[in-house]
A = this chain, B = another copy of it.
Amino acid sequence: MREQLTEEYIRRVWDELPAFVKPTTFHSTLLLNQALDADVTLASETLQITGSFKFRAAYNLLREVESDEVITTSSGNFGQAVAYACMLLGKRCTVMMPANSSKSKQANIRSYDGEVLLIDTATKSRQLYTMDMLADHPDAFYAPPYDHYRVVAGNSTLGREIFEHFGPGGIDYVLCPIGGGGLISGIITARDILAPDVEIVGVEPLLGNDAAQSLRVGHIVTLDAEPQTMADGTRTPSVGKLNWEIIKGGLKQIIEVPEEKIAAGLQTLYSKANLKVEPTGALTTGAVLTQPEQFKGKRVCLIVSGGNVDVDVYMRVLGEE
């Protein structure tokens, strides 16, 4: 699908999508600069529609879909984004979620008029559930969370905002989390058009470092099981095919962040920037805390991917020593 990601298409999305999404929140504080020993600007998607960057992807994906029925599987932000995009676009939406998914995320999807279908992933895989569901609903559109050119193009609108905000030569590094690779593919795509000299650094939890492994060996590495990192937005066992095509040529480095540094990142954003973030949103801050010498005194943009986190999880991480 990479041939569909033309600069012409990307620029059309940049013209059209901003009317439907919120601009990112650029945020800097002296206390955060002191804590990270760098000149830091956060690009926070915590106040984005549905609370994460995923709405950019979901809305761009679905606004060109003709079917009035959409199905997806997600335990988190993509499900909420798809449900709300469907609500706005007048489509029916079913989100298949593992039965142990957080109650508040289930409730949010219902608030967006989405139907929640709880599935038991211990006895049957997500893929099988999806195939059965699509067999029963042959006219439905299945919404893929990252491995699709319109997803990448939607996410590229965040990259565009970042590179236009800083202008040529205005930033040394942009740090971006990697789960399935949809977000960082969009950021790389925007960088290649607007600011080819800026280095983008990928960030993964050490516990779910499939992309870092992939970059080392030169092909997609798939983890045996869903990694049990607190950064639940990155629990994908591997990056998508299209995403890998973009990542392998667009990144030099992926920082692997241990769990305790993800927690420290979340705490730092709480105390130094007044920002409530989900653990995945704290990855980039955790990356600076993991490799401080690399970023010392540099101008660094940290993408904060989202803010949706249950109270019990947030309190556990915030209270960690």
Contact = CB atoms under 8 A, between A and B. Distances in A.
Contacts of A49: 29
B276 A274 contact: yes
A34 B111 contact: yes
Given A30-B84, A31-B108, A111-B34, A46 B274 contact: yes
Interface string A238-273: 000000000000000000000000000001001101
Given A25-B25, A25-B47, A274 B111 contact: no
A111 B30 contact: yes
Contacts of A47: 25, 27, 273-275
Interface in A29-66: 29-31, 34, 46-47, 49, 51
Contact of A276 (B27, B30, B270): B270
A180 interface: no
Contacts of A186: none
A145 interface: no
Interface in A103-125: 104, 108, 111-112
Interface stretch (A163-171, A225-233, A307-315): A307-315
Stoichiometry, as copies per complex, reads 2
A134 interface: no
Contacts of A27: 47
Given A27-B47, A111-B34, A311 B276 contact: no
B311 A51 contact: no
A156 to B, nearest CB: 23
A318 interface: yes
B51 A274 contact: yes
Interface in A160-184: none
20 contacts: A25-B25, A25-B47, A27-B47, A29-B49, A30-B84, A30-B111, A30-B112, A31-B111, A34-B111, A46-B274, A47-B274, A51-B274, A270-B311, A270-B314, A271-B311, A274-B307, A274-B308, A276-B276, A311-B319, A315-B319
Given A271-B311, A274-B307, 13 more contacts: A25-B47, A29-B51, A31-B111, A34-B111, A46-B274, A47-B275, A51-B274, A104-B271, A270-B276, A270-B311, A314-B318, A315-B318, A315-B319
